[in-house]
Amino acid sequence: MTTTTLTDGAAAANQDTKIRIRGLSKVFQTKSGSFTALDDINLDIPVGCFFMIVGPSGCGKTTLLRILAGLEEHSSGSLEIASPAANRPGNSMVFQGDSLFPWMTVWENAAYGLTMRGLPKSEIKNVVGHYLSRTGLSRFHDYYPHQLSGGMRQRVSIARAFANDPDILLMDEPFSALDEQNKVLLQEELLRIWEETRKTVMFITHSVDEAVTLGDRIMIMTAHPGRSKVMVDVPFERPRRVLELRARPEYGELVYNIWGHLREEVQRARSQDEGRAS
């Protein structure tokens, strides 16, 4: 049963809710039967919230994001997204791994969404120029992705999503392939750019550190099938500085706390994998 309501019907009743999900499930039909990826997800994400989803691999977090992005249909339940302001795209996704078009330069990649929407050239130039300079890529605007490092490529990816000026930003483990130093730098950069507009963000990660560093609220998911296990609020004020934040004792406590919830699920996911393998 698919009951997507992409109007501002119910969500408008509560001005502050951007995304409302009720009893959402996703079942994949495979040759060996059906596979429940997501089971009874309930969520209310306020406008401007930096929302994090943490869970063991294979818990369906990416599926949830893809449903929100409109790249996948849900099987049952309801999903309501408050409609965006006129002529602004609903969402833009920063994909996991390499998603830049190899046949386009940095500039063309960053301008992709705006070009597809047919915006005037001068506006594209302003917006893309802004985000390329914010991500430190101005100098590389005519490079092709294969000429860039992994960290730079992911920066272009972020610039592409921000430049599109969507209502909601969806991020699917954008930093998972990066080394630790690059990761911290990019997290700082992301926070800085995000502070400018404070868009609603849904960010998926398997890193508890990343979730606590970036997020306002964290949903911890169970191993397969993916359910919401516990919701944690992150009390740290903004704007945040990544390294300063990580030095604080409260930070360590929160990370430890979340690990407590997560450990059990990671172990369960592992035994499921082992069960499947044997």
Partner 1 sequence: MTNAAQDANLKTRSFAPRRRSWSRESVERAMNIVSPVALLLIWELCARAGWIDVRFFPAPSKVFQVMYNLIQNGQLEKHVWASLQRLWWGILFGGIPALALGVAMGMYRTLRVIVEPVIMATYPIPKSAILPLILLIFGLGEASKIVMVATGVFYPILINAMAGVLEINKIYFDVGRNFGASRWQVFRTVALPGAMPLIMTGIKLGVGLGLVLIAIAEMVGAKSGLGYMIWNAWEILSVETMYVGLISIAVLGLVFTLLLNELERVIVPWKSSR
Which chain residues interact with partner 1 by CB under 8 A?
Answer: 69-71, 89, 91-93, 95, 97-99, 101-104, 112-113, 116-117, 144-147, 160, 164
Rounded to a whole number of angstroms, the minimum distance from the CB of residue 57 to partner 1 is: 18
Given the complex with partner 1, which of 116 and 247 has the nearer CB atom? 116
Rounded to a whole number of angstroms, the minimum distance from the CB of residue 109 to partner 1 is: 9
Burial 242-264 (b: 16+ CB within 10 A, else e): beebeeeeebeebbeebeebbee
Residue 55 CB partners (closer than 8 Å, separation 6+): 61, 206, 220, 221, 222, 223, 226, 262, 265
Q: Other C-beta atoms within 10 Å of 197: how many?
A: 10
Given the complex with partner 1, which of 70 and 151 has the nearer CB atom? 70
% helix, strand, coil for the chain, step of 5: 40, 25, 35
Rounded to a whole number of angstroms, the minimum distance from the CB of residue 53 to partner 1 is: 18
Is there a contact between 27 and 36 (Cβ–Cβ < 8 Å)?
A: yes
Residues in the chain: 278
Rounded to a whole number of angstroms, the minimum distance from the CB of residue 89 to partner 1 is: 6
Which of 29, 31, 22 minimizes the C-alpha distance to 76?
Answer: 22
Rounded to a whole number of angstroms, the minimum distance from the CB of residue 142 to partner 1 is: 10
Give the type of residue at 241.
R
DSSP track, 62-109: HHHHHHHHTSS--SEEEEEEPPPSTT--SEEEE-SS--S-TTS-HHHH
Given the complex with partner 1, which of 72 and 273 has the nearer CB atom? 72
Rounded to a whole number of angstroms, the minimum distance from the CB of residue 30 to partner 1 is: 17
Given the complex with partner 1, which of 145 and 226 has the nearer CB atom? 145
Tell me the Cα Rg of the chain: 19
Q: 3-state class of 148 per DSSP?
A: coil
Given the complex with partner 1, which of 40 and 108 has the nearer CB atom? 108
Rounded to a whole number of angstroms, the minimum distance from the CB of residue 126 to partner 1 is: 18
Rounded to a whole number of angstroms, the minimum distance from the CB of residue 144 to partner 1 is: 4
Is there a contact between 20 and 44 (Cβ–Cβ < 8 Å)?
A: yes
Cα separation values, 245 from 62, 210, 241, Å = 27, 11, 6
Given the complex with partner 1, which of 17 and 105 has the nearer CB atom? 105
Given the complex with partner 1, which of 116 and 243 has the nearer CB atom? 116
Given the complex with partner 1, which of 73 and 253 has the nearer CB atom? 73
What are the tokens at 138?
């101005």
